[in-house]
């Protein structure tokens, strides 16, 4: 996510947040190497601005929209609340409250939500939470049924889809999303700690440091999910078949282009570079052999065949913790159509990137804010929103006067 404290659990949450804003590892500090793709700081003509849509949320971590309804915004709060906000009526309702039932130290908490692609018929939604069991922390993907007349608690989960032990309280990943193929994609970080101490990024026998692809079981009985037969590592010795891509440090946010189906993933860097990956089936994106386009500090020889480069990176002068966004497909800002919008949690900058065939065409600074950009959202019309972790405000891109 956006905190970079490397799981020092004895520190208070407040201290951890300050470490996050420093952008500096508690264990090591490296000199920033020259970037191959330093962000251009030129501004676009007729750039959009932003306007508040809602406020009063507590540490928002995700923005989703009720399927097919641009007025029903769903906001996740780190400490455990799922809040529905009616954009037109300015009304809010708590739909789920896991407060006191989940772990919230450092980057833990309520991290992601995805509605079933067949929600109109099955009323299912899924959440990513971190819980403590028998003294250990676990990421859980839980399945719920949407309820209009009650507030859901953890015990109301229909089942646990997936459970993964987390060795540290950071680098949990967070995003879960159904792709255009109706499969569920799940992003997990390397498990935390500086430098990927367990080498999880390149370990094909763990879910940590990976993007997974599964099919939740539509039946109430049997295994909670199935592995799609076309996953790249099915029947490959040494690889877990759920893996879709690997070599990731902390994929806090990823998204699919609603027009092309391309999968953009923003991977939070350690000390030197933040990166954007265009995910390919079976791809190895380098961590912890590489950070961005560069050999990582403790792996000077990173010429392992088959490692995929990101489509873009930016160095420390531009930002400290990337927050992935969406490819803009709305109608209000035609100059942004087809551009991937993303930001930085620490510096408040928001950029737009354009690519074709996996190659960057351009990257430009859209504007700079004073907010801690924790997540983006996209409504069914393709318009883009973002959240301020500090103030709890939700803001929307609008045309600049």
Tens of pLDDT, residue by residue over 104-154, are 999 999 999 999 999 999 999 999 999 999 999 999 999 999 999 999 999
DSSP 110-177: EEEEEE-TTHHHH-EEEEEEEEEETTEEEEEEEEEE--SSS-B-GGG-SEEEEEEEESSSS-----EE
DSSP 330-345: -SS-GGGTTPEEEEET
Asked if 137 and 169 touch (Cβ cutoff 8 Å), the reply is yes
Mean pLDDT of 271-292: 97
pLDDT at 204 over 70: yes
Distances (CA, A) of 16 to 5, 48, 162, 167, 381: 6, 33, 28, 17, 37
% of the chain beyond a pLDDT of 90:
84
As given in the structure block, the two tokens for residue 265 are 């993933």
| pLDDT tens, residue by residue, 331-355 | 999 999 999 999 999 999 999 999 9
| pLDDT at 44 (0 to 100) | 54
Asked if 277 and 263 touch (Cβ cutoff 8 Å), the reply is no
| pLDDT at 46 (0 to 100) | 55
| pLDDT tens, residue by residue, 94-111 | 999 999 999 999 999 999
pLDDT at 6 over 60: no
| pLDDT at 297 (0 to 100) | 85
Cα end-to-end span (Å), the chain: 33
| pLDDT at 52 (0 to 100) | 95
252 HSE (CA, 13 A, CB side): 30
Helix H segments across 194-353? none
Q: Helix or strand or coil: residue 95?
A: strand
Number of Cβ within a 10 Å radius of residue 205: 9
Report the alpha-carbon angle 290-293-295, nearest 5: 35
pLDDT at 33 over 70: no
| pLDDT tens, residue by residue, 151-193 | 999 999 999 999 999 999 999 999 999 999 999 999 999 999 9
Mean pLDDT of 379-396: 98
Write down the residue that tokens 């620490």 correspond to: 346
| pLDDT at 400 (0 to 100) | 81
pLDDT band at 309 (very low <50, low <70, confident <90, very high): very high
The chain-wide mean pLDDT, for the chain, equals 89
Report the alpha-carbon angle 383-388-392, nearest 5: 105
pLDDT band at 29 (very low <50, low <70, confident <90, very high): very low
- CA–CA dist 329, 369 (Å, integer): 22
pLDDT band at 371 (very low <50, low <70, confident <90, very high): very high
Number of Cβ within a 10 Å radius of residue 136: 10
- CA–CA dist 273, 293 (Å, integer): 9
What torsion, rounded to 10 degrees, do the Cα atoms 61, 399, 278, 28 define? -50
| pLDDT at 15 (0 to 100) | 28
Asked if 265 and 251 touch (Cβ cutoff 8 Å), the reply is yes
Close Cβ partners of 28 (under 8 Å, ≥ 6 residues apart) = 194, 195, 271, 297
Mean pLDDT of 374-378: 98
181 HSE (CA, 13 A, CB side): 14
| pLDDT tens, residue by residue, 314-334 | 999 999 999 999 999 999 999
Write down the residue that tokens 């490959």 correspond to: 236
| pLDDT at 305 (0 to 100) | 86
pLDDT at 40 over 90: no
Number of Cβ within a 10 Å radius of residue 400: 11
Mean pLDDT of 6-23: 31
- CA–CA dist 86, 59 (Å, integer): 19
- CA–CA dist 44, 219 (Å, integer): 50
pLDDT at 51 over 80: yes
């Amino acid at each position: 996510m956006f905190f970079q404290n490397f799981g020092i659990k004895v520190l208070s949450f407040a201290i951890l947040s300050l470490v996050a804003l420093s952008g500096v590892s508690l264990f090591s500090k490296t000199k920033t190497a020259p970037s191959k793709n330093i962000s251009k700081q030129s501004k676009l003509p007729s750039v959009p601005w932003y306007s508040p849509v809602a406020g009063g949320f507590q540490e928002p971590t995700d923005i989703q929209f009720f399927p097919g309804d641009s007025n029903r915004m769903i906001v996740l709060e780190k400490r455990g609340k799922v809040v529905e906000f009616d954009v037109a009526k300015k009304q809010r309702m708590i739909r789920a409250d896991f407060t006191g039932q989940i772990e919230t130290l450092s980057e833990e908490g309520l991290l992601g939500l995805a509605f079933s692609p067949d929600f109109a018929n099955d009323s299912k939604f899924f959440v990513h939470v971190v819980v403590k069991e028998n003294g250990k922390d676990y990421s859980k993907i839980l399945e719920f049924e949407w309820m209009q007349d009650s507030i859901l608690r953890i015990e109301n989960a229909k089942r646990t889809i997936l459970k993964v032990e987390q060795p540290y309280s950071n680098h949990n990943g967070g995003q879960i999303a159904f792709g255009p193929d109706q499969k569920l994609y799940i992003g997990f970080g390397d498990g935390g700690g500086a430098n990927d101490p367990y080498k999880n990024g390149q370990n094909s026998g763990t879910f940590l440091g990976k993007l997974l692809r599964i099919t939740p079981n539509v039946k109430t009985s049997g295994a909670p999910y199935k592995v799609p037969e076309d996953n790249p590592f099915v029947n490959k010795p040494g690889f877990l078949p759920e893996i879709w891509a690997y070599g990731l440090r902390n994929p806090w946010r990823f998204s699919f282009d609603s027009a092309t189906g391309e999968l953009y993933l923003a991977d939070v860097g350690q000390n030197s570079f933040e990166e954007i990956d265009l995910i390919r089936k079976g791809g190895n994106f380098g961590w912890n052999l590489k950070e961005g386009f560069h050999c990582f500090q403790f792996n000077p020889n990173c010429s392992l065949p088959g490692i995929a480069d990101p489509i873009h990176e930016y160095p420390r002068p531009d930002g400290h913790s990337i927050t992935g966004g969406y490819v803009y497909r709305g109608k209000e800002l035609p100059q942004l159509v087809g551009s991937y919008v993303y930001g930085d949690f620490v510096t408040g900058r928001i950029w737009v990137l354009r690519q074709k065939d996996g190659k960057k065409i351009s990257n430009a600074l859209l504007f700079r804010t004073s907010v801690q950009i924790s997540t983006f959202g996209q409504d069914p019309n393709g318009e883009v929103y973002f959240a301020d972790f500090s103030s709890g405000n939700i803001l929307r891109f609008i045309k600049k006067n």
